[in-house]
Structure 1
């Protein structure tokens, strides 16, 4: 039995789609009613990372688990204890590429490092997935593109080797279903680094209309982020953007191509498949 957590999120829902239909699959969610597009044979159960009893039920009979947790909540201790007690052999964890950046000391990165350490010392086999930023983060521009034909973002000329979430999910599914991934750290990037200004130009080309890039000063970026996130998360995101401005996120890794046997997806390809969100036909 494979357990997938985070199935209502960007990566988890794609992982569910990637698991072969002939394998036993259980999906854990705090609110199972929010889980959509569930394969017919899959089981959806309630589970709460702060509730050991619910975790014990969700993990019963599971041999491999995909673990997605979010900063700002509790660490992974409760889940990992329950997983080990249930006899789980292998945990594949979604982490972040910034963990390997010695200059990254923001809240989110420190939280990810801590949880990686918890998994490594859990007594179970582990695989760590460390993606760069998701290409799908561009969806945060969709409203302003639809209404004003403008993208507003920090540091428009700083490059990021962002990755297609579908590639992250495909690698996760391989790690969950194949031998040879235990004890491995997979750093996952796209095939090239790209700037927000370049992403804007590609969206304009695909949409067939001019899209203007407007660089936000840090104070306006803080105001915009503060409408969506707590102050400590806002600080972490702004520190992350500053590291990107200094070039820390531009390195390209070939792990996606190595694991999947095909090139990593491009931003142009991801955007082509999601034009509807930006007002395209």
Structure 2
């Protein structure tokens, strides 16, 4: 029996890999079968193996989010199953390396890990466009990557929208029209433009206001973002996700610690005025945020 474990927090990439394996399996084995299962317990997994025999069609058994349901004392029985089938365990989170079942799979079978922090979004975009005979210039590639960086698990769907357009080159207009940044990305753009582009900062802020995003949430997110940039600037990144560091390093290089501290001080003052009732309306809050630039 062949066992494969695919795990990690990059759900989008894992789904693509599994889809590709399914296609390869069908092409390689005639009259083969593919079964999808989810959240199985140990006995159910064991029964999948017991159902097969040497004369049956070869199966690819995809078993999602089930590793945690296998007790420590039971896992060895899975490796004793006599079967020609492939057991593909798929976990949309990282399986701990100190688990006995992880070590056993690692020792005698195959493990593939897909983590967001290791994911190169720009290369992924370029590869997808290349496959669809699309082109994009470096400036627009950066724009698209910025819009998608906080929605990695939805990135492929968003890229596919652009691939379906009846045009070879993807333009800024295409991106603005078809790709909607999520809230975290809007905050990232807000922080970036706070120091670099007053017009774009005010436009992003106005968009958030139209979406009726609570101003205290925007302030807290901006404070978090500026503190993160300060840590990167001071090379104090041990507590930060490497993916966060990589995506914020370019902005951090362009700023001084003084710039960040001044902006942080203003934001903390606005937050204090809201909490103490000195700023009474949402309109006032947004006006104070406009005065940051």
TM-score range relative to shorter protein: 0.3 to 0.5
For the pair shown, which has the larger CA radius of gyration, 1 or 2? 2
Q: Higher helix fraction: Structure 1 or Structure 2?
A: 2
Q: Higher strand fraction: Structure 1 or Structure 2?
A: 1
